[in-house]
Amino acid sequence: MFGSGPGFSSLLGVMMGIVYFVLIRRLDLSGIKFDINLIGMVLATAVTEELVFSGFAAGYLEKIQEGKAVNLLIIGLMVAIIKVPILLFVYRLGMQEMLGVILFTGASGVINAWIRVETGNVTGSILARVGMNLAVLG
């Protein structure tokens, strides 16, 4: 999970975090308030989600059937499904908005799991999720 390649993994993670941030915020930094609560939420959710999905689940699936694209799709589906209750009951999104969020989070789950599988290190996945969480929560 924290094997070799933390440098390359971190580089990929930072690059993807920037891509997520640009896609979500479109370089609009006006509404972001960097306070300790925001940083805590961003880090806690990024570390937890990526250790579970990209770290544990992707690593386990890789041991079962190495190098399968299906593994990445399973991780993406898991990441997307875990968001459904909050999208429905907290944010009360309509079907069209919910579909967009599910597709985006599923795709980010696939990309983050790919970073973990390719580098053997979950650090990059965590950094990518931090960029996405900053854009969404900030």
**Mind listing the pLDDT tens digit for each residue in 81-92?**
999 999 999 999
- Record the tokens describing residue 25, joined without a space: 């915020």
Question: Higher confidence at residue 11 or residue 31?
Answer: 11
What number is the average pLDDT over the span 108-123? 94
With vertex at residue 121, the alpha carbon angle to CA 119 and CA 124, rounded to the nearest 5 degrees, is: 85
pLDDT digits (tens, 9 = 90+) for 13-60: 999 999 999 999 887 777 777 789 989 999 999 999 999 999 999 999
Per-residue pLDDT for 6 more than 90?
Answer: no
Name the burial class of residue 90, with classes exposed (0-12), middle (13-18) and buried (19+) by CB atoms within 10 angstroms of its CB.
Answer: exposed
Per-residue pLDDT for 100 more than 70?
Answer: yes
The pLDDT score that the predictor gives to residue 15 is 95
- Record the tokens describing residue 73, joined without a space: 């799709």
Q: Are the C-beta atoms of 58 and 113 separated by less than 8 Å?
A: yes
Q: pTM above the 0.85 mark?
A: yes
